[in-house]
A = this chain, B = another copy of it.
Amino acid sequence: MSHIDRDRLVGLRREFHRHPEPAWREFWTTARIVEELEAIGVDELYVGRDALDGDSRMAVPEDAELADWLERARDAGVDEDTLAAMDGGYTGCVAVVDCGPGPTVGLRVDIDGLPRAESTDDEHLPAKEGFRSETGAMHACGHDGHATIGLGVVEAIRDSEFSGTLKVFFQPAEEVIGGGKAMAASEHIDDVDYLYALHLGLDHPTGEVVAGIDGFLAVEHLDVDFHGAPGHAGAKPEEGRNAMQAMAAAVQNMYGISRHSDGATRVNAGVVEGGTASNIIPEDVRAQVEVRGETTELKDYMSDRVRDVVAGAARMHDCEFDVELGGQAPSATSDQALVDFVMDAADGADGVTSIVERDALGGSEDATFLMQSVQDRGGLACYVGVGTDHPGGHHTATFDVDEDSLPVGVDVLVGAIERVAERRP
């Protein structure tokens, strides 16, 4: 499609890539998107507090952490009004483009980065080309590309044959599965008849389009704390109530929760930290745990069993414990009518060399909250995979997106949106 400017998309993506901000800290990112949207011109624009239901946010970081990233955004030149709309961790925005009479079609793109370091290896393109992360965080899951494609679709839609209303949800905090629910609980989703969501990569090469992704694992994040008592490890070890032993027992046994014959389950104690010094019996230890299931029931089974394990581990080592629910997301399925539109749009599109009708994600996503919301009201939803050659796996230090996939994403999505309006199912 001639109206898609690859260079502009690449430029935007690299800019986002240099400024990754983790969940609920996307102050600069949101502001930058807003800036672009205003330049493009949209009919309505909701930012921060106005874009989501604040009380439905999950896994929001501590105030100090939020303040720190807000300050960084301020230092990077974000204006005070935009910051004010987001202060307290209300990031993301919703853009509405009125393209005439017709259905309301939503597009959801996520915009957050991951709290991990990026590779400095010369083979790593962002390092080589000088757009490596400057924040310590990293866009290791392609959300820099997603935000870019979201802007690209807004830009391209007016030149397309689409008639109807386009709403693009620039969603924060997907990586902590904390933002999807907040956007799904806002009024912005209420009039969306059809929803597309998008992901780059997922082990599909550049040129391949997966029309409908399913197999979303329901997921739940749990913050587990053990609280014991300190003691001098040499002089009075018995005075300690050892929170580290409790945690080690819990970790050992939560991975050992029985597989379930009803389907796939997952558990991970992804982050553990605690203790004071090598000569003090560890008093406080924390873990970030997540469980998943092929169905919500299976996820709940895992969650219940993790809670048993944690309670038992605390009992063993005479510690107190706390299990706090972080983010969560349900499962979801892509509707065939929209899958068909995506296949049709992909067929013959520039750069598309292979079309896969359906594939399973295997992981989790909180786009499912928005999909579920639309589907519950009788609408249709579809999660689209846009292949991209990525040298490292998702979430690793050398992940990168092949920028050739950016125009493909814009093109296919615009086509799929057009088809909804034309052939409304």
**Chain A residues within 8 Å of B, Cβ to Cβ:** 114-116, 175-176, 202, 217, 219, 221, 230-240, 242, 244-245, 247-249, 251-253, 255-262, 264-282, 285, 288-290, 292, 301, 308-309, 311-318, 326, 361-364, 393-396
Let me know if A266 and B233 touch, CB within 8 A. yes
Within 8 Å by CB of A240, from B115, B219, B258, lies B258
Q: Is A270 a contact partner of B275 (Cβ separation < 8 A)? A: yes
Distance in angstroms between the alpha carbons of A2 and B393 in the assembled complex: 65
Cβ contact within 8 Å between A279 and B248: no
Q: How far is the CB of A190 from chain B (nearest CB, A)?
A: 29
Give the chain B neighbours of A248 by CB distance below 8 A.
Answer: 247-249, 251-252, 269
A279 to B262 Cα, complex, angstroms: 18
Min distance, Cβ A114 to any Cβ of chain B, angstroms? 6
B residues near A311, Cβ cutoff 8 Å:
315-316
**Closest residue on chain B to residue A273 by CB atoms:** B273
**Assembled-state Cα–Cα distance A236/B361 (Å):** 10
The verdict on A277 contacting B116 (CB below 8 Å), with A282-B269, A313-B316 known, is yes
| Beta-carbon contact of A269 and B244 below 8 Å | yes
CB-contact partner of A279 in B275, B290, B309, under 8 A: B290
Q: Are A259 and B271 in contact (CB under 8 A)?
A: no
Cβ distance A319 to chain B, nearest Cβ, rounded Å: 10
This chain: how many copies in the complex?
4
Q: Is the interface of A mostly helix, strand, loop or mixed?
A: mixed
What residue of chain B has the Cβ atom nearest to residue A222's Cβ? B278
**Residues of B contacting A314 in the complex (Cβ-Cβ under 8 angstroms):** 312
Complex alpha-carbon distance, A393 and B290, angstroms: 32
| Contact of A237 with B258 at beta-carbon distance under 8 Å, contacts A270-B275, A312-B315 already known | yes
A/B interface sample: 17 pairs, CB < 8 A: A116-B280, A231-B258, A234-B292, A237-B259, A238-B258, A244-B269, A245-B251, A249-B253, A253-B256, A253-B317, A256-B256, A261-B264, A270-B282, A271-B276, A272-B272, A280-B395, A308-B316
A288 proximity list for chain B (CB < 8 A): 275, 277-278
Contacts of A116 in B (CB 8 A): 276-277, 280
Give A166 Cβ to nearest chain B Cβ, in Å. 30
Q: Which of B221, B237, B240, B362 contacts A236 (CB 8 A)?
A: B362
A133 smallest CB distance to B (angstroms): 14
Most B CB contacts (10 A, CB to CB) among A219, A221, A280, A309 go to A280
Say yes or no: A221-B278 contact (C-beta < 8 A), given A261-B235, A265-B259, A393-B239: yes
In this complex, which of A265, A279, A317 has the most chain B Cβ atoms within 10 angstroms of its Cβ? A279
Asked, given contacts A258-B240, A275-B272, whether A394 binds B232 with beta carbons under 8 Å apart, the answer is yes
Which 7 A-B residue pairs are closest in the complex by CB-CB distance?
A: A312-B316, A255-B256, A234-B363, A312-B315, A273-B273, A235-B362, A233-B268
Instruction: Supply 14 further A-B pairs (C-beta < 8 A) apart from A249-B316, A279-B364.
Output: A175-B279, A234-B362, A235-B394, A238-B258, A244-B251, A249-B249, A249-B252, A264-B264, A269-B282, A270-B278, A270-B279, A279-B395, A308-B318, A311-B316
* Cα distance, A256 to B309, chains bound together (Å): 13
Least Cβ distance of A272 to chain B in Å? Answer: 6
Chain B residue contacts of A313, Cβ below 8 A: 312, 316
Which residues in B have their C-beta under 8 angstroms from that of A115? 276-277
Which residues of chain B are within 8 angstroms of A277 by Cβ–Cβ distance? 114-116, 175, 270-271, 288, 395
Flag if A261 contacts B238 (CB, 8 Å).
yes
Highest count of chain B CB atoms <10 Å: which of A237, A247, A316, A363: A316
> Contact between B362 and A261 (Cβ–Cβ < 8 Å)?
yes
CB-defined contacts of A280 to chain B, threshold 8 Å? 116, 268, 270, 395
**Please, which residues of chain B bring their CB within 8 A of the CB of A308?**
315-318
